[in-house]
Structure 1
Amino acid sequence: MKKKIAITGVSLYILFCGFIYLYLFVFQDATLPANLVGTSIDPATFLSREELLLSEQYSKIRDLLFFLEIPYEWLFYLFILLFGLGKVFYRWANEYGKLELLKSAIFTFCLSLLSFVCFFPFRYIRYTLSKNYGISTQDFSSWMRDGMIDFWINWLMLFFVVAVLYWLLRKSPKRWWIYAWLLTIPFTIFYMYIQPVVIDPLYNDFYPIQNKALENKILDLAGTAGIPAEHVYEVNMSEKTNALNAYVTGIGANARIVLWDTTLNRLADNEILFIMAHEMAHYVEKHIYIGMVGYLLLLFVCLFVVGKLLNLAIKKYGEIFAIDSVQSLSSLPLLLLIVSMLLFATSPLTNAVSRYQEMRADRYAIELTQDVEAGVETFQELTKTGLSQVDPPALVKWFRYGHPTMKERILLIEQYENTTDNK
């Protein structure tokens, strides 16, 4: 039975890889509709022929890696279960750990280390890809340092979550998922509060914007929007990338708007102000808080589904997967497999909500700055520096894009301009 499941899993993965390759490299036509050719949306109007070629190549390879890694993760957990590695890790945890907390630490460390090793090829390929296409400027030692920080942070979070989760499973086998969800609320709020001041600085240096003339313009714009301006920071991303970005992070007193220094170096002041207006929209419309509430509601449903599927899977495959009970740490790979599948299945929904919020932020930026030209030029520059596709395939948009496509963003600006001109 184990052999049959393994062969089926590998066969499905190979078929999926073939489908995704054909979908991205053969069946997709990157040609824009005739009515958009020669407009500000057409990448041929703001990219060189070489940049157009590189953009198509880079986007397709990057998307291919994304879609190949997701089911690879499912195979990873499946083979851990089939080869009984979960039971081996559990035995080691029992041998070297007396307390349940120490057992959880040993088990999650073994699982995290194996995961780090098995997924390293994907991470390295993405790194070399971005390096070869001129996106990344980060040297290997710095990249490895970030990878090790990721490892320890991810392990600590996994250890904490697993320790609490399996304590709840032992105490309340039927209602554990409700209690887990209730505990998620303060944990999520706490994590979002400390992220800007504790976690993010582990990777980069954050400091107030150094260009004082630009700072005054941002202060004026923030005043117009009714936003406290002390939450605007610059981060030294030029040491790692040529790409541009800005984002909103944190909540409460630690909420801040962050601009990459690459954005400050590459864009004109009016383009930076357009980006700032976009980020201010997230603050004004409380997208962080709305997103957090939406995340918690979705998590409530997912935890309920995970609980049901976990019990059903152990009843049917518990002996094959060497899982004695739901309460055993050896069930963790199965739980993570179910969670990974649910996250992938719900990503089109969460991405659609995110794109809606980003579209609202774009509209707010246009209305606040009244600078249509800056908006168009900003999105064109973002496309150029990130080697992004203006109009990606549907599956890529559904599963990868938390922002509207560049085609949609520039169309929104042009529609706003036409509406304004007709008034």
Structure 2
Amino acid sequence: MKKWVAFALLGYVLFAFAAYYYLYVMAAGDIPEIYKGTSADPDMFLSQADQALSKDYSTVKNFLFFLSVPFEWLVYFLILVFGISRKFEDWSKQTARFSFLQTAVYLFYLSLLTFLLAFPFQYMSYHFSKAYHISAQSFPQWMKGELMDFWISYLIMTVLVAALYGLMKKFQKRWWLAAWALFVPFTVFLMYVQPVVIDPLYNEFSTLKNKELEAEILELAAQANIPAEHVYEVDKSKETNALNAYVTGIGDNARIVLWDTTLNKLNEEEILFVMAHEMAHYVKKHIYIGIGSYLLLAFFGFWLAAKWMERIIHKHGENLQIDRLSQLRTLPLLLLVLSMLSFAASPLSNAFSRFEERQADAYAIELTQNKEAAVSAFQKLAKEGLSEVQPPLLVKVFRYGHPAMSERIYTIETYPLETEKKEWGKVDTQKSQN
């Protein structure tokens, strides 16, 4: 056990040094030569001070990310090795008689401990967002959001974990398949209710107050054959100075949402491009494709987790004081395995997401026929959010579900619209005749 702990701690420290060296020494972040002098060149739309701020802020956020992910694994590992999980299970049995209540008590202890241990990383992330004028929240406002996250996650996890361990007891060999079968409708249900139940707990949503702009957006939606009746805005300016818009929900709860910061800082043509981009996700069924892909990955994730856990318990169960998989004390092991599998799959899921985002950008350009507004919109998004224009390779692979901003801007600037294709066709014809 001492060797396990020593190797885990040493491995984390070495990983932290490697991440620091990569981000602060190796990763230059230079843009490709082909982007120089174009709209994608940060020198064209960011001052040297803004570029320095963006570089510093992005590097700090990336470093915190690469520290926090393996730290989560380390925490779950130490909770297992030191017998803390077993102690939580014993306390839950002493506190409650019924299985569901025992799960609730156990999960409260585990959630509280992991929340407190991860809190320094969460606070550092908030601190730097505040220091670089991205976050607009006071500490009490931010802390309120963290506590809401804790309780909402705790309630959802209690239901999921109680159901999962019930299935483990009933289907000892095929529990992972039964768990996945239950996970499918739960995921769909959560996606359906999120816009109307969960999201309003954090922010106030309303139909777009600017009715002239809403009419323009709805006209654009009609061109895209989207049966939209309203566009929603959300009061994110009380939290952040960054800009964003997104599509959420499924079925009749599907919504296109604009942050009020986006409404305040982009002009009408830029907003129409952003809306066309979000409409593309609806038209091309990206939400449903995303759910399907997520559930497919979850299928293999549950299967691999089951095999991996069975092997670990068979080999090290005595040292970990675990007799069988269905004991609540195995939960940190399950969370550890699932987190590692999720991280390992993130390059694939991020690459697929970037592909969909490029599709949405192309659709928006075709719909609006306004490349200038698209370029200026992305430039403002980069400036206001201190976005990394050209992230290091490993950061892009593991963190970016969108193409790098320089890539998006350059692709849009060089995108051939129909009118340009016709002009190029005329030039080619003239050349061939000559």
The TM-score with structure 1 as length reference comes to 0.98
How far residue 48 of structure 1 moved from its aligned partner, in angstroms, is 1.2
User: 1:256 and 1:9 mapped to 2: Cα distance?
Assistant: 44
Deviations 1:150-170 (A, max 9, x none): 000111111111100100000
How far residue 38 of structure 1 moved from its aligned partner, in angstroms, is 2.1
Query: Which residue of the partner structure matches residue 26 of structure 1?
Result: 25
Query: Which residue of the partner structure matches residue 297 of structure 2?
Result: 298
Query: Which residue of the partner structure matches residue 46 of structure 1?
Result: 45
User: 2:350 and 2:277 mapped to 1: Cα distance?
Assistant: 18
Query: Which residue of the partner structure matches residue 429 of structure 2?
Result: none
Greater shift after overlay, 385-394 or 410-419?
Answer: 410-419
Query: Which residue of the partner structure matches residue 431 of structure 2?
Result: none
How far residue 33 of structure 1 moved from its aligned partner, in angstroms, is 2.8
Deviations 1:29-49 (A, max 9, x none): 222233322211111111111
1:152 and 2:151 correspond: yes
* Contact persistence 2:35–2:410 (CA under 8 A): no
* Contact persistence 2:27–2:392 (CA under 8 A): yes
* Contact persistence 2:208–2:230 (CA under 8 A): no
User: 1:27 and 1:184 mapped to 2: Cα distance?
Assistant: 41
1:283 and 2:282 correspond: yes
How far residue 322 of structure 1 moved from its aligned partner, in angstroms, is 2.2
How far residue 347 of structure 1 moved from its aligned partner, in angstroms, is 0.5
User: 2:115 and 2:145 mapped to 1: Cα distance?
Assistant: 13
Query: Which residue of the partner structure matches residue 369 of structure 1?
Result: 368
Aligned residues: 422
* Contact persistence 1:81–1:322 (CA under 8 A): no
Query: Which residue of the partner structure matches residue 424 of structure 2?
Result: 422
* Contact persistence 1:135–1:242 (CA under 8 A): yes
User: 1:414 and 1:112 mapped to 2: Cα distance?
Assistant: 48
SS in 1 for 2:304: helix
For 2:98, the aligned partner's letter is: L
* Contact persistence 1:358–1:403 (CA under 8 A): yes
SS in 2 for 1:422: helix
* Contact persistence 1:372–1:417 (CA under 8 A): no
Matches for 1:82-97 after TM superposition, within 5 Å: 82-97=81-96
Alpha-carbon RMSD: 1.0
* Contact persistence 1:235–1:260 (CA under 8 A): yes
Matches for 1:61-76 after TM superposition, within 5 Å: 61-76=60-75
SS in 2 for 1:181: helix
Query: Which residue of the partner structure matches residue 141 of structure 1?
Result: 140
SS in 2 for 1:259: strand
Query: Which residue of the partner structure matches residue 377 of structure 2?
Result: 378
Query: Which residue of the partner structure matches residue 351 of structure 2?
Result: 352
How far residue 231 of structure 1 moved from its aligned partner, in angstroms, is 4.5
For 1:245, the aligned partner's letter is: N
Aligned-residue sequence identity (percent) comes to 54
SS in 2 for 1:327: coil
Query: Which residue of the partner structure matches residue 208 of structure 1?
Result: 207
Aligned structure 1 segments of 4 or more residues deviating by more than 6 angstroms = none
How far residue 219 of structure 1 moved from its aligned partner, in angstroms, is 1.3
Deviations 1:233-277 (A, max 9, x none): 000000010000000000011000000000000000000000000
* Contact persistence 2:353–2:401 (CA under 8 A): yes
SS in 2 for 1:318: helix
Any unmatched runs of 5+ in structure 1? Answer: none
Deviations 1:296-332 (A, max 9, x none): 1111111000000010011112122222210100111
The TM-score with structure 2 as length reference comes to 0.96
* Contact persistence 1:9–1:75 (CA under 8 A): yes
User: 1:158 and 1:292 mapped to 2: Cα distance?
Assistant: 20
User: 2:368 and 2:361 mapped to 1: Cα distance?
Assistant: 11
* Contact persistence 1:379–1:410 (CA under 8 A): yes
Query: Which residue of the partner structure matches residue 185 of structure 1?
Result: 184
SS in 2 for 1:320: helix
SS in 2 for 1:138: coil
User: 2:144 and 2:257 mapped to 1: Cα distance?
Assistant: 22
Matches for 1:75-114 after TM superposition, within 5 Å: 75-114=74-113
User: 2:34 and 2:161 mapped to 1: Cα distance?
Assistant: 54
Matches for 1:390-405 after TM superposition, within 5 Å: 390-405=389-404
User: 1:31 and 1:355 mapped to 2: Cα distance?
Assistant: 21
For 1:395, the aligned partner's letter is: L
Query: Which residue of the partner structure matches residue 428 of structure 2?
Result: none
How far residue 395 of structure 1 moved from its aligned partner, in angstroms, is 0.6
User: 1:34 and 1:304 mapped to 2: Cα distance?
Assistant: 45
Deviations 1:12-41 (A, max 9, x none): 111111111111110112222333222111
SS in 2 for 1:248: strand
SS in 1 for 2:246: strand
